[in-house]
Amino acid sequence: MADIFDSYTMARAWDEMFAAPGQPRPPYLSLFATLQPLSGNDLRFRADQLARVFTDRGVTFAYAGEERPFPLDLIPRIIDAAEWDTVTRAVRQRVTALELFLADVYGRGAVLDDGVVPRRLVTTSAHFHRSAFGINPANGVRVHISGVDLVRDEAGAFRVLEDNLRIPSGVSYVIENRRVMTQTLPTLFADARVSPVDDYPARLLAALRAAAPEGVADPCVVVLTPGVYNAAYFEHALLARLMGVELVEGRDLVCAGNRVRMRTTHGEQPVHVVYRRVDDDFLDPLHFRPDSVIGCPGIVNAARAGNVALANAVGNGVADDKLLYTYVPELIRYYLHEPPVIPNVETYRLDDDEVRHDVLDRLDTLVLKPVDGAGGKGIVIGPQADESTLDSLRAAVVADPRGWIAQRPVALSTSPTLIDDRVAPRHIDLRPFAINDGDEIWLLPGGLTRVALPEGALVVNSSQGGGSKDTWVLAAEPAASPTPLRGATGPVEVIPHDVAPADTGTGALEGQQ
């Protein structure tokens, strides 16, 4: 019998599926048993089916100037209930602290007065906008949708890689990945307790409606897109359709008297909430780039007047600046008075002269990132860079120390991935998506697992040739009901012989992080 894992060689990193060669971790036992008899040709055939379905549904992305079906690997990534609980607590904690930071920075500025974050860091951020002052959301939420990127380190522990609080993208792939996997490979789900992901559109719509200005009982919600040529247009259209709201472009909106209206065939209709997928710089030509033709003139003034809610809020980028990322653990302690549930990756601030000199002496051992980079652009992985690249990087850091951070290279965890007709380890990360409705921060069970498809590559972004996996969060096992003994006067709980009675003493075990 064929075994696709016979030739699988574990990389020098934490393997998500295997604890040792041929020994799957407990959450993967059922999946391993299902996949083991299949051949590489079987998997290749099913992978081609997935690609055809994605093409038919328009689930594509632009890579090297060509529209391609988004690469979805057949082998899912699995996270058990206990681990997902840790992820949930960590993301909620982080989003809560960053919400408080944004309210503070665009308000009284206590965090700056107390010296927790240097004032210069905020004022020199390209995403700190004075136009955001005076905009006070009706329900106090600025980060309605967030994506916190996580990786596992060499020991298998989660680390936070970065925060995305402006316009996090990728949730459409989470929804479509699950839809296609359940249709094409239903047998994989037979024995698994996989948490569903189809609640996301309803949760998102509820959070957007909750953000409406005070006194609006039945708010009109729209999704604002830059248009069909945007790389994430598929996502904009999908979310609008699943929420049952209008997908609009800037030319469809008009702002007068600090109120936003939408042009329709029946005349202009009031708009109360705008889920905008347009960057700050292009959102309102009266406040940002005057040459923008994809935004709505006056929409920022309407938000300041309290007549429309913008999701996410203008100016959130100051909180996901990669230099500010290094201060998030301190922000958690400052605002919440507790330690971070999941720590950051070790990071160096290059605006510190002593630290910068040390980093410049060992560029070939570190990862350098531009603080305002996105999509993996501008990242230099020192151990994989040539001398010319390092020389250019050194000059760039010296010219603009504020514009860079350095991080310890993390051997991102790997997961078995179908490459041609064989299975090989490839590095992955995880982007959980969180929705804040003002009362609760809810996490979509699973999020987007991104895969670096080239061998040895560490950059997982689709714009750099990466793909994705369906991410399974296993529901907790239901608690067993006590077994009554026949003939007893009342139910008697039977304790299995291998379970010790609970300790009734005064001592307590400390929980581990």
- Residues 248-291 have pLDDT tens digits of 999 999 999 999 999 999 999 999 999 999 999 999 999 999 99
pLDDT of residue 513: 35
- Please report, rounded to a whole number, the percentage of residues in the chain having pLDDT higher than 90: 74
Contact 264, 222 (CB under 8 A): no
Tokens representing 480? Answer: 């067993």
pLDDT of residue 424: 95
pLDDT of residue 2: 53
pLDDT of residue 23: 94
Q: Tell whether 286 is covered by a domain.
A: no
Q: Tell whether 373 is covered by a domain.
A: yes
Q: What is the C-alpha separation between 276 and 130, in angstroms, rounded?
A: 19
Q: Tell whether 399 is covered by a domain.
A: yes
Of residues 161, 95, 204, 79, the one with CA closest to residue 431: 161
Band of the pLDDT at 4, cuts 50, 70, 90? confident
**CA end-to-end span of the chain:** 43
pLDDT of residue 96: 98
CATH of the domain at 396: 3.30.1490.270
Tokens representing 111? Answer: 């965090």
Band of the pLDDT at 491, cuts 50, 70, 90? very low
Pairing mode of beta strands 246-248, 221-224: parallel
pLDDT of residue 463: 62
Contact 250, 271 (CB under 8 A): no
Q: What is the DSSP string of 390-412?
A: HHHHHHHHHH-GGGEEEE-----
**Average pLDDT for 338-357:** 96
**Average pLDDT for 323-345:** 97
Contacts of 44 (CB under 8 A, 6+ apart): 418, 420, 421
Tokens representing 89? Answer: 């607590």
Q: Tell whether 98 is covered by a domain.
A: no
**Average pLDDT for 73-90:** 96
Tokens representing 206? Answer: 């509820």
List the domain range (segments joined by +) for residue 397.
Answer: 347-407
**Average pLDDT for 41-61:** 83
**Average pLDDT for 99-110:** 97
**Could you tell me the pTM of the whole model?**
0.89
Pairing mode of beta strands 404-407, 158-164: unpaired
Tens digit of each residue's pLDDT (9 = 90 or more) over 214-248: 999 999 999 999 999 888 899 999 999 999 999 99
The count of structural domains within the chain is 1
Q: What is the C-alpha separation between 204 and 239, in angstroms, rounded?
A: 9
Place of tokens 């596992």: 152
Q: Tell whether 163 is covered by a domain.
A: no
Q: Tell whether 458 is covered by a domain.
A: no
Tens digit of each residue's pLDDT (9 = 90 or more) over 369-390: 999 877 677 899 999 999 999 9
Tokens representing 66? Answer: 């060509």
Q: Tell whether 147 is covered by a domain.
A: no
**Average pLDDT for 491-504:** 32
Contact 260, 270 (CB under 8 A): yes
Q: Is the pLDDT of residue 187 over 90?
A: no
pLDDT of residue 58: 78
Band of the pLDDT at 443, cuts 50, 70, 90? very high
Band of the pLDDT at 38, cuts 50, 70, 90? confident
Average pLDDT over all residues of the chain: 89
pLDDT of residue 191: 79
Q: Tell whether 392 is covered by a domain.
A: yes
- Please report, rounded to a whole number, the percentage of residues in the chain having pLDDT higher than 70: 90
pLDDT of residue 478: 65
Q: For 434, phi and psi rounded to 5 degrees?
A: -120, 140
Contact 341, 329 (CB under 8 A): no
